[in-house]
């Protein structure tokens, strides 16, 4: 695996970019327009566009599905209001992390410290943090939130994490608590409560939640100030068409001197967007400031019509920042024939990752073999891991190895040149959410060229979620996420504890859905979990990393395709101050907790 860019064929990229531009021109009429003026629609005071920050969810939808549910733990995986707007100045977090540098950014919390065996964490809250109703945030809120998650129904978001890890929370005083873990967890606090990534675990106001049904309480009553966070904004109107948050008159950050001023936007508005063409149109017409990313070709074509839009990088074709994920081709390792390592290896050698990057993504990403993102790979891959990558050479397409492994699996080519066993042709589905479909035709063509029958289906709904979580699938194109600082972040997903029999839902994250089980790897991961990371080539921890990586490359329980680099698009017509490669104060993703810092860094664009 490398993190260098391999350029696409220039003529191919230009041709595809022009085609994308024509598609935008033809589809512009389907774009979802900017919502009606808020003052007229909701009886709120009018706020000028230049003082309003407008964004979309991370994902396509024609309506916002949860306008009256603001409990961040009972909304399910499809759409969480904390993820889409709450994290932008309404419900704040204890800490954030700049994933570009690893820097910890204290917010509601001042510090946390482990004991010697990593079973206790002493958490210090910042003095003066208050909820929107003026009530001080205290350690009692921490105790209530974490222990409620520990005791919650397993269907509650994040409940399984706390059921496994949390013994209890000891309140020492209003600003000090001790979190007792059930086992050593040197990375547990950061991964769950300080990462600023897709860990949307925020503290709740005990004085509002206590006595309510934790699973059913919606935390929504605008007339009585709910939802109530500690941030400088409050929700003032919600509907399937838009959510509106207005800046509060006061905020603890200014009152305590933590911040010099209130954030500049007077109003935040979340609106839905139907598809890539619609998102392009919103940017071209300056109706949106950021939100769902554009496909690379769409971005280039849109930028030609509106030079005020940009992404993480000022120059292409690699416009986007790492997502902490990689696109992958997932096998259901509990189901034949995908439980045969030779079949998995044959499919691996049939796939041309470089073509996926060049053709599917306009050269805007690059091939990978391990589930390690560019946030961590440069610090871990050189040396022993690179030696393993060279030894196994899983990233180079090889028709001879396809033949070798399919023959070893008991298949032979029939009269039509298709791989078959006992007269039955093997069909390899290329299936997954529509979001990932740029890779689908390339993967299918690779498979067909290698002698596999292959079907193609992009799921425009979310049927894949049920199929995947219950194991009622064969293969799936999705992502493997989590490799933000060290190898355990993603290797842990291959632990047997994240599997379940076919027909039963997966425990924990749906990303850990390979249904792969290997006691040898489990034992290695158990040791890694209790240790602090150390990338010294001769360290005990690196020994374990190398052992785990070798098992991964030997068994190939999934096929990593390319790094996930989204073209998160910013419109600088009204606002500047976005995180970029030139000013990487946070990772740029609007759906990650640390995007809260963006709200405080926005500046009005120069006239």
CB 468 within 8 A of CB 476: yes
Torsion of CA 322, 327, 332, 333, to 10 degrees: -60
What CATH number did the domain enclosing 133 receive?
A: 3.90.76.10
pLDDT-based confidence at 507, cuts 50/70/90? confident
Strands 427-433 and 424-425: unpaired
Is residue 485 domain-shared with residue 352, that is, in the same domain? Answer: yes
380: in domain: yes
Q: Is residue 263 part of a domain?
A: no
1 — pLDDT class (breaks 50, 70, 90): very low
Q: What is the pLDDT of residue 75?
A: 83
Region 463-477: what's the mean pLDDT? 93
Same domain, 372 and 513: yes
Q: Whose CA is closest to 573, among 53, 88, 84?
A: 53
CA atoms 495, 501, 503, 507: torsion sign: negative
Q: Identify whether the C-beta of residue 278 lies closer than 8 Å to the C-beta of residue 31.
A: yes
Residues 414 and 538 in one domain: yes
Which one, of 200, 194, 226, lies nearest residue 113 by Cα?
Answer: 194
Does the pLDDT value for residue 209 go beyond 70?
A: yes
| Mean pLDDT for the stretch of residues 336-341 | 98
Check pLDDT > 60 for residue 11. no
If asked whether residues 374 and 500 sit together in one domain, one would say: yes
Distance CA 384, CA 548 (A): 12
Question: pLDDT confidence of 38, banded at 50, 70, 90?
Answer: low
On average, the pLDDT of the chain sits at: 92
CA within 13 Å, CB half, 47: 18
Cα–Cα distance measured from residue 470 to residue 144, given in angstroms and rounded to the nearest whole number = 32
- 425's tokens: 């042709």
Q: Do the domain assignments include residue 485?
A: yes
Please say if the pLDDT value at position 521 is more than 60: yes
Q: Are residues 200 and 349 in the same domain?
A: no
Please determine, for residue 177, whether its predicted confidence score (pLDDT) is greater than 60: yes
Domain-ending residue, one of 209, 234, 260 = 209
- Please say whether the beta carbons of 17 and 252 come within 8 A: no
Same domain? 380 vs 523: yes
For residue 484, being part of any structural domain is answered with yes
E strand or H helix at 57 = none
- Residues 3 and 563: their CA atoms lie apart, in Å, by 8
Q: Which domain range does residue 197 map to?
A: 95-209
Q: Mention every residue, 6+ apart, whose C-beta is less than 8 A from residue 213.
A: none
The whole-angstrom distance between residue 478's C-alpha and the CA centroid of its chain comes to 11
| Cα(580)–Cα(585) distance, integer angstroms | 8
Asked if residue 113 is part of any domain, the answer here is yes
pLDDT digits (tens, 9 = 90+) for 278-312: 999 999 999 999 999 999 999 999 999 999 999 99
Count of structural domains, the chain: 2
Boundary-marking domain end, from 209, 231, 260: 209
Answer with the one of 176, 209, 242 that is the final residue of a domain: 209
- Residue 18 predicted with pLDDT over 80: no
Spatial separation of the C-alpha atoms in residues 590 and 202, rounded to whole Å: 17
Q: Which residues have a Cβ under 8 Å from the Cβ of 290 and sit 6 or more positions away?
A: 55, 56, 568, 569, 570, 571, 578, 590
Percent of the chain past pLDDT 70, that is, above it, reads 92
| pLDDT at residue 4, as a whole number | 31
Average pLDDT over residues 477-502: 94
- pLDDT of 15 strictly over 60: no
Query: Are the CB atoms for 71 and 205 separated by under 8 Å?
Result: no
The position carrying tokens 């939100």 is: 291
Does residue 265 carry a pLDDT above 60? yes
Q: Is residue 78 part of a domain?
A: no
Q: How confident is the model at residue 59 (pLDDT cuts 50, 70, 90)?
A: confident
Burial class of residue 308 (count of CB atoms within 10 Å of its CB; 0-12, 13-18, 19+): middle
Query: Is the per-residue pLDDT at 3 higher than 70?
Result: no
Confidence bin at 355 (pLDDT 50/70/90): very high
The CATH number for 473's domain is: 3.10.105.10
Domain membership flag for residue 316: no
32-50: average pLDDT: 69
Task: Tell me, yes or no, whether 399 and 540 share the same domain.
Answer: yes
The answer to the question of residue 4 being in a domain is no
User: pLDDT class for 155, splitting at 50, 70, 90?
Assistant: confident
- The stretches of 356-398 forming alpha helices (DSSP H) are 377-380, 384-392
* Residues of the chain above pLDDT 90, percent: 86
pLDDT recorded at residue 31: 37
Mean pLDDT of 188-199: 95
Name the nearest CA neighbour of 497 among 73, 165, 194, 196.
165
Question: What is the band of 234 on the pLDDT scale with cuts at 50, 70, 90?
Answer: very high
């Amino acid at each position: 695996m490398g993190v260098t860019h391999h350029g696409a064929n220039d003529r191919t990229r230009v041709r595809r970019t022009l085609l994308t531009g024509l598609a935008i021109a033809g589809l512009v009429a389907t774009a979802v327009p900017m919502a009606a003026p808020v003052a007229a629609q909701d009886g709120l005071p009018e706020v000028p566009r230049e003082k309003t920050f407008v964004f979309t969810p991370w994902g396509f939808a024609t309506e916002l599905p949860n306008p009256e549910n603001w409990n961040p733990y009972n909304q399910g995986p499809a759409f969480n209001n904390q993820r889409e707007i709450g994290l932008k100045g309404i419900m704040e977090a204890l800490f954030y992390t700049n994933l570009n540098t690893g820097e910890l950014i204290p917010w509601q919390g001042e510090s946390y410290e482990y004991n010697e065996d990593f079973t206790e964490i002493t958490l210090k809250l910042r003095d003066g943090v208050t909820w929107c109703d003026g009530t001080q945030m205290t350690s009692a809120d921490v105790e209530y939130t974490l222990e409620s998650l520990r005791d919650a129904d397993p269907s509650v978001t994040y409940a399984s994490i706390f059921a496994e890890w949390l013994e209890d929370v000891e309140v020492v005083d209003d600003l000090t608590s001790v979190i007792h873990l059930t086992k050593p967890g040197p990375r547990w606090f950061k991964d769950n409560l300080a990462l600023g990534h897709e860990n949307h675990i925020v503290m709740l106001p005990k004085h509002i939640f206590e006595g309510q049904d934790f699973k059913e309480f919606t935390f929504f009553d605008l007339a009585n100030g709910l939802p109530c966070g500690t941030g400088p904004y409050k929700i003032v109107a919600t509907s399937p068409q838009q959510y509106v948050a207005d800046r509060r008159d006061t905020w603890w950050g200014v009152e305590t001197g933590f911040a010099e001023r209130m954030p500049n936007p007077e109003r935040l508005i979340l609106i839905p967007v139907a598809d890539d063409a619609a998102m392009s149109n919103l940017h071209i017409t300056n109706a949106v400031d950021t939100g769902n990313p554009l496909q690379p070709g769409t971005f280039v074509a849109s930028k030609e019509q509106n030079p005020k839009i940009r992404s993480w990088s000022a120059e292409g074709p690699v416009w986007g920042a790492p997502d902490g994920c990689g696109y992958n081709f997932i096998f259901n390792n509990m189901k034949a024939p995908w439980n045969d390592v030779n079949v998995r290896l044959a499919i691996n050698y049939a796939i041309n990752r470089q073509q996926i990057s060049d053709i599917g993504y306009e050269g805007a990403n690059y091939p990978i073999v391990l589930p390690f993102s560019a946030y961590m790979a440069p610090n871990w891959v050189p040396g022993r891991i690179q030696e393993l990558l060279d030894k196994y050479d899983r990233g180079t397409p090889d028709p001879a190895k396809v033949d070798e492994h399919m023959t070893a699996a008991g298949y032979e080519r029939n009269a039509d040149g298709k791989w078959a066993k006992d007269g039955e042709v093997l069909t390899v589905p290329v299936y997954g959410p529509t979001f990932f479909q740029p890779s689908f035709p390339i993967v299918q063509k690779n498979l067909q060229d290698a002698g596999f029958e292959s079907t193609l289906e992009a799921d425009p709904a979310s049927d894949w979620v049920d199929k995947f979580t219950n194991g009622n699938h064969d293969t799936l194109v999705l992502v493997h996420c989590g490799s933000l600082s060290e190898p355990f972040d993603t290797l842990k997903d291959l632990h047997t504890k994240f599997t379940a029999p076919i027909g039963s839902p997966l425990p924990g994250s749906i990303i850990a859905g390979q249904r792969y089980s290997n006691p040898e790897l489990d034992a290695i991961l158990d040791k890694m979990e209790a240790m602090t990371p150390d990338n010294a080539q001769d360290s005990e921890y690196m020994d374990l990393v190398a052992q785990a990586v070798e098992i991964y490359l030997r068994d190939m329980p999934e096929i990593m395709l390319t790094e996930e680099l989204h073209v998160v698009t910013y419109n600088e017509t009204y606002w500047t101050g976005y995180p970029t490669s030139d000013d990487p104060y946070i990772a740029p993703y609007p759906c990650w907790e640390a995007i809260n810092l963006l709200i405080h860094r926005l500046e009005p664009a120069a006239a």
